[in-house]
Structures are given as structure tokens and as C-alpha cells.
Structure 1
């Protein structure tokens, strides 16, 4: 069988594809929300409970899905999860009550929580340490790319037929992606198209002290580590921004900026496009510092701090009156959030052993989505009274605190010296 050059990037492209569909499916509700609420009479408070059902299930599901993927493997585990969330997405179309939508969102959230643990597991398996940040940034691009594609696709489906049709289309994409993942994904040891040269390059560039294939995964051991606490708290503070952009910004555009459905389709994707650029920026900025002698962990902390400072600009959304300026500021927030999110997520692969990286990532993800869940409930309860302004101000501050936490809690692992990793001819 013919060997393919840079085969590891084919694997990350597969992760990107399924992650795009993952986030397209979850963002579909936010885009369709004004139409659904108008058609069914669902209130803002009930909508917040629908969103919370997803967030609660996603929060609980991440450590469970991470452990599942560490146990049965990323190939089978991720395929099963994608198939289930596809069915749940289609299930949105057959219910018109907030309770029914909440049940579908719960099933969807639990299964969709596999995405980030599966992606980080793939990165830790397929990439040397020096490329890990870029690979993580590329696959996390799928989160914002999916969210960016959702507004025009879902709006078109609604205008063409109905909001129910929008969920049938998006759910069917997930079912097809599950089949594709299972058919195409391979671990390096099973990949017949992977050249021996590239295999050695990957192995030589990974940390031997993180390889513990026979060691049993212990969630209790992971949660007691200060490195986990640092990542978990930082993600708890960071993720309310993504939840707000995904689930509440379309409503903010309609009610505060008075956008029509067509204008939502025209503008809501912009924060997600900027978020894609932020994903890439996170990986390359961290590599810039790492290539100049800064340690791997410190390069990621510096990048997080830079992005946290940029994130403070989202607070000005609370005082601007020009709708296009508000879109720009929210877009900058999307860029900054994904820039810092990609590097803090990559830290899981830098600091935890290969057999526990998906579990640790899932547990940190549970912290992140706990932050989203709590923030969402506050928005649902108080936005009708105080408006969106105070919430944007809070988002401007959270990541600065998160940067302080990373510098305070994270402790670098001192690895034994090892020979330089061989270079692939294609890397020159």
C-alpha cells in the first residue's frame, strides 16, 4: 500500500471534520431559537432550561466520555458518540415543547461531550510535542467553523422549509460523520499508509515519561494534582464566553441590536470566523515562544495571558450603540477566547500521561462547562431585568483571573534529557 507523506495531518483533518459537525449541531439551536420561541411560545426562562439541559449533560458527560475513550479507544468510542448525538439532533424535529427539547438536548450534550477528549487523545497519539499546540489549534478550529457554518445553513433551512427541517439536516450530517470516522480512523500502529520515517519522527518527539500503557486510569489521582486544578479553574472561567457567543448572542442581536433573521445569517458567523483565526493563532504564538527557548508550558501560559488581555475588549459591548461595532467587539472576543482555549486545552496533553489524557481533558471540560452552565442560568434569570451589558463586562474580567490561576497553579514536569527528535524531510 502506498505511503502518504505527513499522514498525521490527515488524521487531524478527520478530527476537524467531525468536530465541525459537532459544533454545527449544537449551535443550531441558538440560531433557530427566535423562530422556535415564536412558533411554540417558549419563554426566555424555559429556553435557558433547554440550554442548561445540554450544558448539564455535557458537563457530566465529559469525564465519562473521556474515560470511555481511554478505555475502549478513540476509534469506536467517538463513532458511537457521534451516531447518538446525530439521532438526538434529528429528534429535535419531533418535539415542540420545552420539555421535549430539553430531553433531546440532554442526550445530545452527553454524547457530544466526547469531542474535545477524543480530539486531544488523537493529538497526543499522533503528534510530537512541538507540533501538539498547532494540531490542537487546528482541530479546535472545527468548533468555531461549525458554529460559523450554522447561522447561514440553519437560517436557509428555516426559510426553505421549517425549523424542524434544520435539525433533520444537521443531525443527518452527524450520522454520516460517525460512519466516516469509524471507517477511516487508525491508530499509528495500525495505519498502513504511515511511513516508517514519520512513525519514528512522531515517537521520538513525544515524552517517554508520559507513556504508561499498563497503568490503570484513576480519576481521583488526576483531580488531586495541582496541574489539573490550574487547568480546570482556568477553563471554568474561560468557557462562559463561548456559551454566551453560541447560545445568547443571536438573541442579543435580535432583541438589542434589532437584527432580522437575514441579518443574523449575515453577521452571526463573524465571531466564529474570528474564533477560527484565534485557534490558529494560539498554536503558532505558543510555538513562536517555544522555538525561542521558552519552555513548552510557559509558552502556552504566555499565549493565554496575551489572549486574556485581548478578551477585555468584549466588555465595551455593554456601552456601544452601533450594532456593527458590537459585532466587531464580539468577534474580537471570539478570536481571543479560542486563542486561549486552544492553548489551555493543549496543556492536558503536555502534563498528563497518554493513557489518562482523555480522562483528564474530560474532567477539565466538566469544569469548563460548569462555568458555562452557571453563567447561562444567571443570564436566563436576570437578562430581562439588567440586560446583557453586565454579562459582557464579566466576560472581560474572567480570563485575566484565569491567567493568574495558570501562573500560580501549573507546575512544569521536569523530563529527563533525551536526544533531539529526527526531522522529516518535509519539515525543512
Structure 2
């Protein structure tokens, strides 16, 4: 594997920041948190929108599906553009766009309005994870990328954890329309701050020479000519399909929780609307911790037990998906709130761990110079199929009045995802 790396850097003009790469990681985590705060806002507003506008579960599911399909298809050009023009410019454009799309939800009155704004949200949010993956390859040596991915990907889980109590409070205090405006404005401010702050390691005036050498030592070997892999060629490799199918299984399950967890808690377990925010936060907090913990486990497996970088991540992916399948089949038959929260929390923790390590293992499979576009392909596969989960779940619940069929099917999908990770993702693409 090869990549281009500048051998020299401009002289520092400011005092070096210790462990600058982790400060960068903090920005990625914050962006992921806001990203999912915006994305999950529809699940918080859903009961109020259904009451005020006469929407159905199927309508709410359709909003989730339209977002996911748009998000999925935009992964392919997003990954290419990130590798082409750089993550700084793409992050600024993307964050600004998804924040404006969120704010526009406040002005919607019909399904046509809401579906249009969800399409814009999908376009804007599509570069977020490939961007974070690309920045990770720039700022972290290969051995640390599993841990780094676990931290930045946990931002989506922290965002989903914070969303229920914070957005419920904003909605009850100011109304659901004002809630969309407030979080949209916060995103615009963060986009401007990121543009002003972020620089690549080669251009950073706060990165010490020692840390820069540490980063370079764990990158691909530097050469004058980067490896060139035609985009369509990726689809001829089993590794690509293994990641796409495995990631699809986690996104299917994640989309069910993201769209319907508050309604599931209210309609099945009897949680009040006022309490839903705090109760729904518990599984997402477990998810955030699960992503971080799994990332640390990969470092221990690589350093202490001498597993390869790829194998250390496959342990999490294969074992986690099988355990996840069992937990999801248990969910519909647990009617005690405390016990249900434990099962739901464990399930989401494993989903988060698998998603983070999917991003991390993608940089083990391809050269660093192709990290964003390959991650975009993986994300496309996950969300293209996973987009069906909200609408299928909404239709099934409207028809049967039960979430049981959806959880049982999700359990089977999770186990099959583990099989795909295990059998198809075996070695890097030569």
C-alpha cells in the first residue's frame, strides 16, 4: 500500500499542542454528535407531528427511508470528492448544508415539504463518516485507527443519547418547530468553527515534530505515485461485498432504533412522553461506551496478543453480530422496563461497536489514498438496504400493532451480517 506524504512541513509559528491528533479526534466526535442530533430529531418530533398534522407511522417511516436512500446514493460521489478536494472543504460544505436542511423542517406543513427537507439532509450528511475516516488515516497510525474510529463514531451514539432528553425538553418548552431551528443554527456555527480551526498534519502549526513522526511511522509507505484503483474495480472484490453486507445488517438495526425507539417505549413498555427522553437516552449511552470500549479492545488484541490489525477488528465484528442476533430476538418478549433497557442497551452497544470497527477495518483493506471512497462504498451498501428498515417497520406496526416481527427479522439479519464479515473479509485488496 502506498500514499503520498509530504516529507517536510512549514515551520511552526505557535506552541505545539500535546497529542494534537486527539484534539482533532474531539472535533470529529463533536461533528458526529451534532450529525445524529439532527438525524434523530424526527423521532422526537414524531408524536407531535402526528398529532398536529395527522401523520401516520408509515409517514414517519417514509421520512426515515427517504433520508437513508438519499444518504446512501450520495456516499459514492461524497467519498470521491473527499479524496479529490480534501476533508476540510467537504466538512464545511456538508455541515452547513445539513444544518440548513434541519432548520427548514420548522417550516414544513405537508409530506412533500418534509420529504424534500429529508432529501437535503441526506445529501448534506453523506460526507460525514467518510470524512472522519479520511481524517483518521491522515492523523493516526494504522495500529491506533480502530481506537480512533471507536471514539469518533461514538459521537453518533452520544448524539442519539443526548437527543431524547435535550430535544424533548426543547420541544416541550418551545415547540417542535423551534427545536429544529435551534439545532440547525448550532450546526452552522460549528461548520464555521471547523473551517477556521482544521488543518491537515502537514499544514498544522500546532503539531509537534515528534507527534508528526509518530503519525508518519504508522501510515502507508510514502512514494511519489499513489496506488490507483479504478472505482468500479472495488465491486469485483469479495471484501467489498462482505463489508457492504455486514454494514447493512448494523444499519438496518440502527435505523429501527433511531426512528422508532421513542414510540416503542411509549406504546409497548408504557413510558410517558415526558419520560421518554431520559429513558431512550440509556441505550444510546451504552452504544457510545460500546464503540469506545471495542476500539480499545482492538488495540489490546493487536499489541498484547499480536493479532493483525485486521483480525483484531474481525473479532469484534463476527462475535458481536452473532451475539446481537440473539439479543434482538429476546427484545419482544421482555415486558419489564428495567430488564428491557438492559437488553436494548447491550444490543445497541454491539451495533455501535460493529459500526465503528467496520470503518476502522476499511482502512486495513485499501490504501490510505482510497480510504474515503472505499468507506463511501461500504456506507452506500449499508444505507441503501438499511433504508428499508424504517418504512418496513412502520408498515408492519400499522398492520399488526406489534414490533415483534421487526425485532425477530432484525435478529436474523444481524447473525447473517456476522457470517458475511467472517467469510468475505479475509485480507486486504492487493
- What TM-score, normalized by structure 1, do the two folds share? 0.93
Q: Which of 238, 242, 253 is 2:254 aligned to?
A: 242
Distance 2:173 2:390 in 1: 31
Specify the SS of the correspondent of 1:321.
coil
Correspondence for 1:31 = 44
Tell me the distance in 2 between the aligned counterparts of 1:300 and 1:212: 30
- Alpha-carbon deviation of 1:105? 0.7
> Residue 212 of structure 1 contacts residue 355 of structure 1 at CA under 8 Å; is this kept in 2?
no
What is the correspondence of 1:397-412 to structure 2 with a 5 Å cutoff?
Answer: 397-412=412-427
The CA deviation at 1:16 is 0.8
**Which position in structure 2 is the counterpart of 1:421?**
none
**Structure-2 residue corresponding to 1:358:** 372
Partner of 2:98: 85
> What is the root-mean-square deviation in Å for CA atoms of aligned residues?
1.7
1:17-416 counterparts in 2 under 5 A? 17-208=30-221, 214-215=226-227, 218-291=230-303, 292-311=305-324, 312-386=326-400, 387-413=402-428
Q: CA distance change for structure 1 residues 212 and 338 in 2, over 3 Å: closer, same or farther?
A: farther
Residues 4/178 of structure 1: CA separation in 2 closer, same or farther (3 Å cut): same
Runs of 4+ in 1 over 6 A off after TM superposition: none
The superposition leaves residues 51-77 of structure 1 with CA deviations (integer Å, 9 ceiling, x where unpaired) of: 111111111111221111111100001
Give, in angstroms, the shift of residue 29 of structure 1: 0.7
| Structure 1 residue 377, shift from structure 2 partner | 2.4
Whether contact under 8 Å (1:137, 1:283) holds in the other structure is yes
- Give the deviation of 1:384 after TM superposition: 2.1
Q: Is the 8 A contact 1:253 1:259 kept in 2?
A: yes
Tell me the equivalent position of 1:420: none
1:275–1:339 contact (8 Å) kept in structure 2: yes
> Using the alignment, how far apart are the partners of 1:89 and 1:293 within structure 2?
45
- Give the corresponding residue for 2:11: none
Unaligned ranges ≥5, structure 1? 416-428
- 2: distance between equivalents of 1:97 and 1:336? 37
Contact 2:48 2:176 in 1 (8 A): yes
Gaps of 5+ in 2: 1-13
Q: Do the aligned partners of 1:275 and 1:331 also contact (CA within 8 Å) in 2?
A: yes
Contact 1:149 1:269 in 2 (8 A): yes
**Deviation of residue 113 (structure 1)?**
1.2
Moved more, 375-384 or 294-303: 375-384
Aligned partners of 1:147 and 1:374: how far apart in 2? 20
Structure 1 distance, partners of 2:119, 2:174, is: 26
Question: How much does 1:214 deviate?
Answer: 4.6
Measured in 2, the distance between the counterparts of 1:399 and 1:212 equals 42
Rounded Cα–Cα distance in structure 2 between residues aligned with 1:308 and 1:237: 9
Take 2:224 and 2:129, find their aligned partners in 1: how far apart are those partners? 21
Q: Which string of whole-angstrom CA distances, capped at 9 and with x for unpartnered residues, describes residues 302-356 of structure 1? A: 1112322331212211112223322221111111111111111211111112221
SS class of match (2:387) = helix
Q: Normalization by structure 2: what TM-score? A: 0.93
Q: Please give the per-residue CA displacement for 1:116-165, whole angstroms capped at 9, x wherever unaligned.
A: 10110011111001110000000001000011111111111111111001
Shift of 1:390: 1.6
Asked if structure 2 preserves the Cα contact closer than 8 Å seen for 1:237 and 1:398, the reply is yes
